[in-house]
Amino acid sequence: MRSLKRHSWVKSCGLIVTLLVSQILWVWAPVHSTAKSASAPVESCTSGLAPFLDIVPSQDGTELFISASGVGELSGAVFVNVGVGPGHDKDSWTMTYSSTVQSYVATATGFTPHTGTSGPLNITTTQGLDSGVVDFNRAYVPASTVETVSSIDGNLDLSIVN
C-alpha cells in the first residue's frame, strides 16, 4: 500500500513539474522568439507619415482644398502631389502648417469643372517621409440635382443634396 501511495505521489509531482515547465515555456517563448506570427503587421514601404486627410473641392470645381492633420509640425518642407485631369498629370504644391488648426493645408489648382474624376494624392517631405498614394474621387454637383459620391471600395454612398 505504501509503494502505491509513493507511486501516486511521484506521478502527481511529475505532472505538476511538467505543467510548470510548459507554462514557463508558454510565457517565455513568444517574448524571446525571433519567429513572426502569421498575423504580424506588415511594414509599409512608406516612411512613417500617416496623416488624416480632408480633401474638399472648391465651389466652382477648379480647386481642391487639402488638409493633412494628425502628424504635428514636421521639420523641413511638406508637399502634396496630386494627379490632375483625366491623365492624372502630377503637380506639386507646398503645404503650410497652420498652428490654429494644427494641420498642413494647401490649395491644389488646375481642375476642370463639371468633370467627375478620380486621382492619386500623396504627401512627401524633404526629410524623406512619404504618406504613400491615396486615391480620391471628385464629383461635380450641379445646383439643381442630387449627386451620389461612392467610396472606392463601394461600402459607402454619400448623397449630396443642394
CATH code of residue 119: 2.60.40.10
Set of cell numbers at residue 73: 509640425
* Residue indicated by cell numbers 514601404: 45
Residue 161 lies in a domain: no
- Predicted TM-score (pTM) of this structure: 0.55
Number of domains in the chain: 1
22 three-class SS: helix
User: Quick one: pLDDT at residue 94?
Assistant: 94
Q: What does the pLDDT look like over 3-25, one tens digit per residue?
A: 555 556 556 555 565 555 555 54
Q: Helix, strand, coil % (nearest 5) of the chain?
A: 20, 40, 45
- Residue 142: all three cell numbers together: 450641379
Question: Is residue 76 in some structural domain?
Answer: yes
- Mean of pLDDT values over 84-94: 75
Closest CA to 49 of 137, 120, 106, 122: 122
Q: Other CB atoms closer than 10 Å to residue 62's CB: what's the count?
A: 13
Mean pLDDT across the stretch 132-151?
74
Burial class for 63, CB neighbours closer than 10 Å (0-12, 13-18, 19+)? middle
44 assigned to some structural domain: no
HSE (side-chain half, CA atoms, 13 Å) at 39:
0
Give the dihedral sign, CA 115/154/81/74: positive
For residue 153, is it within any domain? no
pLDDT > 90 in the chain, percent: 10
* Spatial contact of 76 and 115, defined as CB atoms under 8 Å apart: no
Q: Indicate whether 35 belongs to any domain.
A: no
pLDDT given for residue 31 in this prediction: 46
In a domain, 29, yes or no: no
CA neighbor of 79 nearest in space, from 89, 93, 66: 93
Which structural domain range is residue 123 located in?
52-136
Is residue 5 included in any domain, yes or no? no
- For residue 38, what is its C-alpha cell? 502569421
Would 155 be classed as within a structural domain? Answer: no
Give per-residue pLDDT as tens, 34-61.
Answer: 444 344 343 444 456 778 888 888 878 7
Question: Are 123 and 68 within 8 A, CB to CB?
Answer: yes
